[in-house]
Amino acid sequence: MSWSALSLGANMGNRIVNLRTALRLLKLNGVKILARSDIFETAPFGVNHQPRFLNACIAIETDLDPYSLLALVKSIEKETGRITRKRWGPREIDIDILLMENTVIRDPKLQIPHPGMPERAFVLKPLCQIAPDMIHPLKGKSIRALWENIPERDRSMVRIGNL
């Protein structure tokens, strides 16, 4: 079993239901949920003119290798109703693999750790709730330290509730 961190985001449909459905489907597929962050409402990233997102992170334990985990999260996105649109556009659910212990993968299909994670407040704040001392394998810094590097102006988000 290996430890991993996933981010979940949604800004279309019933956002909370979509996040919780993804969580339930992960469990039904043998993924053990170790920790859950709060849910935060955040401004959209990349494409500004779209609804606000709900974001959360989870720590999991799984026997799946990185590519099998990727296949699982993509199938769960589809089952939860995700429609393919433009990059960074609206989505019913988005599940990203952020970390898999100290694994580093850089290929066109999969990048671990997630390359955008160190600059994204909407990922770092919930991740800091569940794994503040986890060390980013490429940056050599803890998740807490990465969060502390986010400018104050970019930290605006509202806690909605529990995942």
pLDDT beyond 90 at 23: yes
Q: What pLDDT is recorded for position 149? A: 96
Percentage with pLDDT > 90 across the chain:
85
> DSSP E strands: which ranges in 11-70?
32-36, 38-42, 53-62
Q: What pLDDT is recorded for position 84? A: 78
Q: What pLDDT is recorded for position 46? A: 78
Average pLDDT of span 107-126: 96
The yes-or-no answer on residue 82 being catalytic is: yes
Catalytic position from the list 65, 91, 133, 155 = 91
Distance CA 43, CA 52 (A): 5
pLDDT beyond 80 at 89: no
Identify the band that residue 73 occupies on the pLDDT scale cut at 50, 70 and 90: very high
pLDDT beyond 80 at 86: no
Name which of 84-93, 96-105, 128-137 the model is least confident about. Answer: 84-93
The yes-or-no answer on residue 159 being catalytic is: no
Q: Domain 2-162 falls in which CATH fold?
A: Alpha-Beta Plaits (3.30.70)
Name which of 39-48, 122-131, 132-141, 150-159 the model is least confident about. Answer: 39-48
Which of 38, 43, 63 minimizes the C-alpha distance to 53? 43
Catalytic position from the list 87, 94, 106, 144 = 94
The yes-or-no answer on residue 65 being catalytic is: no
The yes-or-no answer on residue 133 being catalytic is: no
The per-residue DSSP string of 80-145 comes to: TT----STT---S-EEEEEEETT--EESSS-EES-TTGGG-HHHHHHHHHH-TTPBPTTT--BHHH
Catalytic position from the list 96, 133, 153, 159 = 96
DSSP secondary structure letter of residue 63? S
Q: What pLDDT is recorded for position 107? A: 94
Distance CA 67, CA 84 (A): 20
Distance CA 161, CA 143 (A): 22
Domain range annotation of the chain = 2-162
